[in-house]
Amino acid sequence: MFVDGYDFHAYNAVGFGSLGESMDISASDIKMTAPELGGFGGWWKYISNVMSLSPVEPGKSGFPEGVKRLGGTFVVKGNDVVYQWYDKVPGDHPDLNDVMKVVQDA
């Protein structure tokens, strides 16, 4: 896991993008599944907590920049990146079995 500040220097250094930067995405490029949040109660809790959990810079207002930032997944062995995935949209992520196979083989 890695954490960045409100300047997003680390995100930029690894090439993570921001929502809306690239419109060169087709629906077939995205592998999204709805998270299991425990039924209606879980979804309600998620929706009601989303702003309090969003990375909002102190003293700033409006739509938080951190919410627009996309992440990714890396597997690192020593000094080598042996797997990398860049999210195309929020909720896009690699198949966990694929990632775990790379981890086991690394």
| Per-residue pLDDT reduced to its tens digit, 85-106 | 988 877 778 899 999 999 999 8
Mean predicted confidence (pLDDT) in 56-67: 76
CA separation for the pair 31, 92 (Å, rounded): 6
CA separation for the pair 73, 81 (Å, rounded): 10
CA separation for the pair 91, 76 (Å, rounded): 22
